[in-house]
């Protein structure tokens, strides 16, 4: 492999760089420009440098083309959100510039493709640097000139601006393109080097260095991936070897992952003809004694509901994933919304208590898949994982899981069953005998959606329906006893308890930090177990004056979001109030801070927000 | 109603031949005179002949009168939701290649609410046997028009006589790409046993449609193929490949076009094996081949090695 120039020789001297703790970079272009790839490289680089990283991505629902952005926040502290506004905006096109200029903080750097963008000359609020990204890429790659490598060119520019680890980036480029032919790797490296070698004098006001990580080295290595992938690998670790699904955005990448991965593990993933068939096939796998998965996004979950009712009635273990998006109906398929909570809990017929979990970030997708597997098997019940578009598509770095300790081996237990075996004992948890199990009693069990007696035979007996309904309810209540008390951050008592679920974790935690800096006593609790509630919530709630539930869904007819409604119904605590929104985007920290401040009548000016970019600290 | 059967029979000794006595479970809930009784009796005979280990047999069903079937057979089994038993059974079969999976259902379950699944399970060809008890009426919900009700049939939803074109089951099944398609009649026990046996021994997705009269809501529906009621029992004369001149006129079940022609014969049509394709691999086999090829590439790495490698790539 030839690397045409040695970047370190052309590199800027360290002394001219300003050291910064963290930076938010927004890349705006079109979906085919590979800006996700730049984001991915930066995220993985940060992960390999023990730096914290958080990304945020929007993709258009069109197949090709259309505006697309990727936002990366890299830093040395604990990075929990992708940042409200950007310090650097990279604009590939005029529309990218126009649509995203407002997201750039004062004092930030606008890096634009001078081949396509003419910025407003009167805009003195930001440092504008024009770079002929398209023509420079074509020139660098040469020959069969294509502007295709301009994302990698920009990566080179950023590497120069932020004094990033070039050998590691080169290694990442080689890994990423290594599977393809040599020319592609070579062209990518040429584009990267050209970006890196962009005349330093043009960038001299824009050279920075990220602080060294304060996290002590020697812990577990960092891995970088997106939430849907983390969930996929979590399912593999949980012992899921069988599943079925139907394509729908943003769930599809999980089923694609499973379809490719499962055969390696001796398993099968079926692409079904529709959502109903998918859950039915998955339940067939479960009936066979496997731990199986199906999943979808909101509309698909609606289609699965009748079968999910069967799973409750027949007491069949199953992991069901819902990667939530904007609804109702086809809604906003590539936007975030947390409006499927009620559907997850109640979207079926009959009394149908269910287990519902919600991962708080990318890392948690992995661990909640394990938790879902544990609950599904231990309690012989369907478990719904409510993840969402934001967590599913964004990339984060986290500690590599301790796989030898975590991996679960699930095999059908077809050992002969004792004469007293009953599939639905009234006074014990259901433990199905999958087919292949010899019944020493000579009586073979039926699993059924009809109300049944302890052997699974149909009945409309009043006593049995009462007792079996109770059995199914008490089982889910017993799940609660197996849960830890939720983790509480910040002040353990005081003015405000912020409650969230799913992707709101980072912004809420940072909002808590800002409010506490301003002297408000605030705690934060992110609920991972939505149904049943983990024990100890009531006692925690009683320690705060205000309990604000932050969600991305509508306030409904009576002014409360979906989790807030559930919590009010459960605890009858009038201090529980709601912060909701339905713009299809994740929360900005400032949005939460402002809504909290308003709710508790905080005098204006109590909270100081940084208006200027961190890059503006040094006068230029 | 609870109909839990008292089973006085002690479990058979391991390896003992499967008998009807062992296979009896709940007493059937069907109306007296229902054709499904004969299908059940024939199925016991089929299992006796197949003599699979009892614990390896699975009977599953959707919703409908005939879908009560699994309660009446003492094997592993169950009762799923309306129309979706096929994808469920495909999951059983693909997840557990060691089992013998039988699915039972009616015309509403199979051709109406489950129509989409029937088409797709047929094309995917998992190893399982599907018995459709077609009575051409909705029986459990008491006499509504079904997808196989003939034009003119007076039901509660078409009191003036149905006018929607009914499904031709044989044509629909052939068109879906099912690899074994046969047709039988609930008044012909020996024929049913023969068809179900052939279906069970077929390596792939096998379907037997059995005309099974609902005496309550569609009395006499299939008389035209019952000789003692003045009908004609017309069997498919299968090719013997004996080189004789008369053999040329016989039906070759591997000939799809000939099968379609048979399916197009006017009511009540012929009975027997319409089509059999022994060369198309099952989905079970194809998935196992995919697994074997993939495992060979990963040099049979353990699960822990595989996942550790995946995480190492994300560093």
* CATH-assigned architecture of domain A7-219: 3-Layer(aba) Sandwich (3.40)
Q: Where along chain A do the CATH 3.40.50.970 domains lie?
A: 224-406
The minimal CB distance from A285 to the residues B1, B95, B99 is found for: B95
CA angle A296, A322, A353 (to 5 degrees): 120
CA atoms within 13 A on the CB side of A2: 5
What distance in Å separates the CA atoms of residue A39 and residue B280, rounded to the nearest whole number?
Answer: 46
How many Å separate Cα B113 from the centre of its chain?
16
How many Å separate Cα B281 from the centre of its chain?
19
| Interface contact flag, A236 B307, Cβ < 8 Å | yes
Q: What is the DSSP letter of A251?
A: T
| pLDDT value of position B1 | 43
Are A291 and A376 contacting, i.e. CB atoms less than 8 angstroms apart?
yes
| Interface contact flag, A285 B26, Cβ < 8 Å | no
Query: What mean pLDDT is predicted for residues A15-35?
Result: 81
What distance in Å separates the CA atoms of residue A310 and residue A320, rounded to the nearest whole number?
Answer: 14
Are A277 and A320 contacting, i.e. CB atoms less than 8 angstroms apart?
no
Q: Where along chain A do the CATH 3.40.920.10 domains lie?
A: 7-219
CA atoms within 13 A on the CB side of A334: 13
In this structure, the strands spanning A576-580 and A529-531 are unpaired
Mean pLDDT of chain B: 95
Furthest-apart CA atoms within chain B: distance in Å: 79
Q: How many helices (H) and strands (E) does chain A have?
A: 21, 23
pTM: 0.92
| pLDDT value of position A5 | 36
Angle between helices A182-196 and A133-141 (to 10 degrees): 130
Residue A573 has pLDDT above 90, yes or no: yes
What distance in Å separates the CA atoms of residue A374 and residue A371, rounded to the nearest whole number?
Answer: 5
Spell out which residues of chain A touch residue B1, defining contact as CB-CB under 8 Å.
Answer: 458-460
| Interface contact flag, A307 B1, Cβ < 8 Å | no
What distance in Å separates the CA atoms of residue A51 and residue A221, rounded to the nearest whole number?
Answer: 11
Q: Which pLDDT tens digit goes with each residue over A139-187?
A: 888 766 566 788 899 999 988 888 888 888 888 888 888 776 788 888 8
What distance in Å separates the CA atoms of residue B219 and residue A105, rounded to the nearest whole number?
Answer: 80
Spell out which residues of chain B touch residue A308, defining contact as CB-CB under 8 Å.
Answer: none
* CATH-assigned architecture of domain A489-599: 3-Layer(aba) Sandwich (3.40)
| Burial classification of residue A500, based on how many CB atoms lie within 10 Å of its CB (0-12 exposed, 13-18 middle, 19 or more buried) | buried
Query: What mean pLDDT is predicted for residues B117-124?
Result: 98
Are A113 and A104 contacting, i.e. CB atoms less than 8 angstroms apart?
no
Q: How confident is the model at residue B189 (pLDDT cuts 50, 70, 90)?
A: very high
Residue B112 has pLDDT above 90, yes or no: yes
Query: What mean pLDDT is predicted for residues A485-510?
Result: 95
Q: A224, A240, A280, A410: which to substitute to probe chain B, counting the most B Cβ within 10 Å?
A: A280
Angle between helices A362-379 and A227-237 (to 10 degrees): 30
ipTM score assigned to the predicted complex: 0.96
Q: Count the neighbouring beta carbons within 10 Å of the beta carbon of residue A467.
A: 15
In this structure, the strands spanning A52-58 and B128-134 are unpaired
Q: Is B66 on the interface with A (CB under 8 A)?
A: no
Q: Which pLDDT tens digit goes with each residue over A491-500?
A: 999 999 999 9
Q: Is B71 on the interface with A (CB under 8 A)?
A: yes
Q: Where along chain A do the CATH 3.40.50.920 domains lie?
A: 489-599
In this structure, the strands spanning A355-357 and A529-531 are antiparallel
| Interface contact flag, A268 B291, Cβ < 8 Å | yes
The minimal CB distance from B120 to the residues A277, A285, A440 is found for: A277
Residue B73 φ then ψ, to 5°: -120, 125
What is the distance in angstroms between the Cα of A388 and the nearest Cα belonging to chain B? 22
What is the distance in angstroms between the Cα of B177 and the nearest Cα belonging to chain A? 15
Are A250 and A393 contacting, i.e. CB atoms less than 8 angstroms apart?
yes
Q: How confident is the model at residue A620 (pLDDT cuts 50, 70, 90)?
A: very low
Return the beta strands (E) in A163-317 as ranges: 208-210, 222-226, 242-245, 268-271, 292-296
- Most confident range (mean pLDDT) of A44-53, A191-200, B37-46 is B37-46
The minimal CB distance from A461 to the residues B2, B10, B307 is found for: B2
Strand partners, A461: none
What is the distance in angstroms between the Cα of B281 and the nearest Cα belonging to chain A? 16
Mean pLDDT of chain A: 89
| pLDDT value of position B7 | 47
Residue A223 φ then ψ, to 5°: -120, 155
SS3 A245: strand
What distance in Å separates the CA atoms of residue A55 and residue A68, rounded to the nearest whole number?
Answer: 14
The CA distances from residue A585 to A24, A343, A553, A591, in Å, are 17, 21, 11, 11
Describe chain A by its helix, strand, coil percentages, rounded to 5.
40, 20, 40
Q: Count the neighbouring beta carbons within 10 Å of the beta carbon of residue A619.
A: 5
Buried/exposed A158-188: b ≥16 CB within 10 Å, e otherwise: bbbbbbbebeebbebbeebbeeeeeebbbbb
Q: B87, B101, B104, B282: which to substitute to probe chain A, counting the most A Cβ within 10 Å?
A: B87
| pLDDT value of position A9 | 34
Query: What mean pLDDT is predicted for residues A393-410?
Result: 93
Q: Count the neighbouring beta carbons within 10 Å of the beta carbon of residue A248.
A: 21
Are A562 and A530 contacting, i.e. CB atoms less than 8 angstroms apart?
no
List of residues 6+ apart from A397 with CB closer than 8 A: A43, A44, A46, A47, A51, A52, A53, A222, A223, A224
Q: Where along chain B do the CATH 3.40.50.970 domains lie?
A: 20-280
Q: Which pLDDT tens digit goes with each residue over A273-292?
A: 999 999 999 999 999 999 99
Q: Is A451 on the interface with B (CB under 8 A)?
A: no
| Interface contact flag, B119 A272, Cβ < 8 Å | no
| pLDDT value of position A486 | 92
Spell out which residues of chain A touch residue B70, defining contact as CB-CB under 8 Å.
Answer: 446
DSSP B27-67: PP-SPTT-THHHHHHHHHHHHHHH---GGGEEEEE-SSSGG
What is the distance in angstroms between the Cα of B271 and the nearest Cα belonging to chain A? 31
| Interface contact flag, B311 A223, Cβ < 8 Å | yes
SS3 B230: coil
The minimal CB distance from B94 to the residues A270, A278, A455 is found for: A270
Q: B47, B75, B80, B95: which to substitute to probe chain A, counting the most A Cβ within 10 Å?
A: B95
What is the distance in angstroms between the Cα of B106 and the nearest Cα belonging to chain A? 18
Return the beta strands (E) in A378-487 as ranges: 382-388, 395-399, 446-448
The minimal CB distance from A443 to the residues B7, B298, B304 is found for: B7
Q: How confident is the model at residue B296 (pLDDT cuts 50, 70, 90)?
A: very high
* Homologous superfamily of B20-280: Thiamin diphosphate (ThDP)-binding fold, Pyr/PP domains (3.40.50.970)
Question: Which residues of B, range 255-314, sit inside 8 Å of A by Cβ?
Answer: 287, 290-291, 293-295, 298, 301, 303-304, 306-308, 310-311, 313-314
Are A507 and A81 contacting, i.e. CB atoms less than 8 angstroms apart?
yes
Q: Is A274 on the interface with B (CB under 8 A)?
A: yes
| pLDDT value of position A143 | 61
Report the top-level CATH class of A224-406. alpha beta
Residue B224 φ then ψ, to 5°: -65, -10
Are A436 and A413 contacting, i.e. CB atoms less than 8 angstroms apart?
no
| Burial classification of residue B227, based on how many CB atoms lie within 10 Å of its CB (0-12 exposed, 13-18 middle, 19 or more buried) | exposed
Q: How confident is the model at residue B39 (pLDDT cuts 50, 70, 90)?
A: very high
| pLDDT value of position A525 | 98
Q: Which helix (H) or strand (E) holds A23?
A: strand A22-30
| pLDDT value of position A14 | 43
Q: How confident is the model at residue A59 (pLDDT cuts 50, 70, 90)?
A: low
Are B178 and B205 contacting, i.e. CB atoms less than 8 angstroms apart?
yes
Residue of A nearest to B52 (CA): A436
Question: Which residues of A, range 234-263, sit inside 8 Å of B by Cβ?
Answer: 236-237, 242, 244, 261, 263
Q: What is the DSSP letter of A395?
A: E
Higher pLDDT, A588 or B77: B77
């Amino acid at each position: 492999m030839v690397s045409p120039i040695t970047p370190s020789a052309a590199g800027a001297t360290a002394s001219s760089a300003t050291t910064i703790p963290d930076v938010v970079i927004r890349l705006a272009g079109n979906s085919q420009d590979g800006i996700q790839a730049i984001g991915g490289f930066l995220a993985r680089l940060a992960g390999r440098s023990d730096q914290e990283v958080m990304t945020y991505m929007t993709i258009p629902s069109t197949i090709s083309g259309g505006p697309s952005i990727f936002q990366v926040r890299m830093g040395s502290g604990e990075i929990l959100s992708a940042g409200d506004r950007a310090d650097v905006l990279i604009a590939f096109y005029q529309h990218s510039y126009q649509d995203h200029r407002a997201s750039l903080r004062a004092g930030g750097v606008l890096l634009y493709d001078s081949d396509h963008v003419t910025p407003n000359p009167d805009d003195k609020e930001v440092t504008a640097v024009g770079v002929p990204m398209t023509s420079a890429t074509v020139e660098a790659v040469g020959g069969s000139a294509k502007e295709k490598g301009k994302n990698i060119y920009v990566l080179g520019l950023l590497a120069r601006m932020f004094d990033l680890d070039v050998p590691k980036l080169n290694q990442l480029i080689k890994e990423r393109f290594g599977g393809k032919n040599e020319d592609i790797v070579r062209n990518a490296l040429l584009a990267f080097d050209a970006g890196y070698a962009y005349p330093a004098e043009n960038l001299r006001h824009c050279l920075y260095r990220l602080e060294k990580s304060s996290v002590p080295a020697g812990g577990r290595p960092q891995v970088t991936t997106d939430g849907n992938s983390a969930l996929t690998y979590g399912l593999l670790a949980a012992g899921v070897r069988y599943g079925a699904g139907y394509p729908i955005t943003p769930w599809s990448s999980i089923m694609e992952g499973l379809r490719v991965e499962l055969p390696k593990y001796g398993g099968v993933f079926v692409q079904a003809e529709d959502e109903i068939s998918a859950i039915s096939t998955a339940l067939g796998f479960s009936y066979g004694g496997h731990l199986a998965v199906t999943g979808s996004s909101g509309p698909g979950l609606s289609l699965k509901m009748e079968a999910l009712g069967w799973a409750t009635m027949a007491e069949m273990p199953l992991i069901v994933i819902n990667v939530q998006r904007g609804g109702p109906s086809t809604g906003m398929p590539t936007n975030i919304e947390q409006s499927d909570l009620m559907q997850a809990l109640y979207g079926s017929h009959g009394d149908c208590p269910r287990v519902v979990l919600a991962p708080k970030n990318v890392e948690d997708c992995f661990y909640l898949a394990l938790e879902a597997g544990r609950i599904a098997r231990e309690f012989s019940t369907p478990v719904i994982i409510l993840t969402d578009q934001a967590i599913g598509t964004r990339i984060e770095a986290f500690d590599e899981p301790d796989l030898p300790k975590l991996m679960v081996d699930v095999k059908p237990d077809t050992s002969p069953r004792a004469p007293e075996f009953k599939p639905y004992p009234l006074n014990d948890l259901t433990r199905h005998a999958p087919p292949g199990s010899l019944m020493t009693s000579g009586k073979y069990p039926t699993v059924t959606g009809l109300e049944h007696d302890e052997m699974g035979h149909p009945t409309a007996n009043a006593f049995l329906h009462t007792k079996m309904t109770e059995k199914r309810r008490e089982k889910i209540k017993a799940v609660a006893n197996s849960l830890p008390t939720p983790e509480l951050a910040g002040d353990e008592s005081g003015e405000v308890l912020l409650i969230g679920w799913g992707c709101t974790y980072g912004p809420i935690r940072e909002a808590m930090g800002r409010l506490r800096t301003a002297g408000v006593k605030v705690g934060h609790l992110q609920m991972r177990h939505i149904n049943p509630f983990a024990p100890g919530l009531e006692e925690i709630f009683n320690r705060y004056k205000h309990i604000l539930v932050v969600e991305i869904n509508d306030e409904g007819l009576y002014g409360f979001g979906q989790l807030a409604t559930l919590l009010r119904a459960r605890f009858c605590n009038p201090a529980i109030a709601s912060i909701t929104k339905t713009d299809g985007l994740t929360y900005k920290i400032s949005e939460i801070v402002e809504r909290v401040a308003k709710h508790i009548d905080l005098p204006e000016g109590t909270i100081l927000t940084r208006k200027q970019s961190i890059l503006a600290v040094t006068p230029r | 109603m609870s109909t839990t059967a008292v089973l006085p029979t002690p479990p058979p000794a391991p390896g003992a031949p499967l008998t009807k006595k062992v296979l009896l479970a709940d007493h059937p809930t069907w109306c007296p005179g229902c054709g499904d009784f004969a299908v059940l009796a024939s199925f016991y005979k089929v299992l006796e002949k197949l003599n699979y280990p009892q614990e390896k047999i699975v009977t599953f069903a959707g919703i409908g009168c005939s879908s009560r079937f699994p309660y009446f057979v003492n094997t592993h089994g169950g009762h799923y939701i309306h129309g979706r038993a096929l994808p469920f059974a495909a999951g059983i079969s693909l997840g557990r290649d060691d089992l013998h999976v039988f699915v039972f259902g009616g015309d509403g379950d199979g051709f109406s609410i489950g129509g989409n699944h029937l088409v797709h399970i047929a094309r995917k060809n998992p190893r399982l046997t599907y018995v459709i008890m077609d009575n051409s009426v909705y029986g459990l919900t008491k006499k509504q028009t079904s997808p196989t009700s003939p034009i003119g049939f007076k039901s509660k939803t078409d009191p003036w006589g149905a006018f929607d074109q009914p499904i031709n089951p044989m044509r629909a099944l052939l068109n879906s790409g099912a690899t074994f398609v046969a047709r039988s009649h609930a008044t012909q026990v020996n024929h049913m046993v023969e068809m179900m046996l052939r279906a069970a021994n077929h390596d792939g997705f096998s379907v037997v449609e059995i005309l099974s009269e609902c005496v309550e809501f569609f009395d006499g529906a299939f008389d035209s193929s019952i000789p003692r009621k003045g009908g004609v029992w017309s069997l498919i004369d299968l090719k013997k490949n004996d080189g004789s001149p008369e053999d040329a006129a016989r039906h070759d079940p591997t000939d799809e076009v000939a099968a379609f022609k048979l399916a197009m014969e006017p009511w009540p049509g012929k009975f027997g094996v319409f089509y059999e394709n022994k060369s198309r691999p099952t989905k079970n086999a194809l998935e196992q081949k995919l697994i074997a090829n993939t495992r060979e590439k990963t040099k049979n790495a353990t699960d822990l090695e595989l996942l550790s490698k995946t995480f190492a790539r994300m560093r």
